A and B are shown apart, each in its own frame.
Chain A
Amino acid sequence: MTTLNSLPHPSDPAEALAAVSSLRLMADKLERNAVSEAVQQGWTWAQIAEALDITRQAAHKRHAEFINNKER
C-alpha cells in the first residue's frame, strides 16, 4: 500500500494541478489494469461495476474495448 507522505499545497496551484493530472492518468491505468485482471479472474461486469461504483453499462463502455484489445 502506498502512503501519500505529502501532497502539493493548493497554494501552489501549478504543482498541485500537475499532480492531479498525473494522479488521474495513473488512476486510469490502475483501473484499466485491475479491470483486465478482474475479467481474467472471472469477475462479471456487474461485479466490476459494483466495485467501481458505476453502472454496468458504464463499466463495459469504458473497458470492454481495451479488454478485447488485450485478448487479441
Chain B
Amino acid sequence: MIFSFIKSFKRIRQDMKNISLLCLGAEKHAHSNGEDKPGAEHFLLAAFELPDGTAKKVFERLNIDSTGINQAIKNQHIDALHNAGLSDESIEENLEFTEITDPKLKLFDTTPSGQAVLKTLYQSNKKRNTAFTGAHVLEVIASMKYGIAARTLTVMGIENSALKVAIADELR
C-alpha cells in the first residue's frame, strides 16, 4: 500500500516536471517564431525536447527526421498562402518576424489549439497510470484533424494512420 502511494507520488512529480518542461519549451518556440502564445505546433516541437525521447523514437519508426518540423510549419503556411494567391516574394517578405527575445513576465497562456493540447493531455493523464511522455503529446496532436500542427504533419509526408500505429507501438 505505502509503496504504491510512493510510486504514484513519484509519477505525479515527474509528470508535473515534464508538463512544465513542455509548456516552457512550447513558449520558447512560439517566441522564437515571433508569436507571443504557443499553439499546438509549438507543443509538437517541444515534445521532441522532453528527456524521455519517445517522440523522437516515434518519428524514427516512420523514418522521418524530426529536425524538419520547424521548416514544415513554415512550408504549410507557404502552401496555404499560395492557395490564397500570394506570390513567393510577397510571402517571404511578409512572413518575416522578429524573435521575441525578452518577453514581459506574465501568466502562461496559449492559443486555443495549445489549450486543446493541454486539456486533452490532462484528461488522458487522469485515465492512465504510466508516466507522461513526448509520445503522449504526439498522440494528442495526431488526434487533431485540422489546424497548423495537423497540416505540418501532412507536409512532412506523415500519414495519420501510420503515425497512430507508431505511437501505439512506442507506448506499448
Residues of chain A touching chain B, judged by Cβ–Cβ distance below 8 Å, are 2-8, 14-15, 17-19, 21-23, 25-26, 29-30, 32-33, 36, 65-66, 69-70, 72
Contacts and interface: CB of A to CB of B under 8 A. Distances in A.
B81 A22 contact: yes
Given A14-B146, A29-B34, A29-B94, A23 B84 contact: yes
A3 B85 contact: yes
A1 B91 CA distance: 12
Main secondary structure of the interface of A (DSSP, over half): helix
Contacts of A32: 34, 97-98
Contact of A19 (B34, B81, B146): B81
Nearest to B77: A22
B162 interface: no
Given A18-B83, A26-B77, A33-B98, 5 more contacts: A4-B84, A7-B85, A14-B146, A15-B83, A32-B34
Which bracket fits the contact residues of B?
Answer: 20 to 34
A2 B88 CA distance: 11
Contact of B83 (A8, A36, A69, A72): A8
B151 interface: yes
Q: Counting chain B CB atoms within 10 Å of each CB, which of A18, A21, A66 scores highest?
A: A18
B53 interface: no
B87 interface: yes
A14 B100 CA distance: 30
Interface string B11-38: 0000000000000000000000011000
A61 B52 CA distance: 39
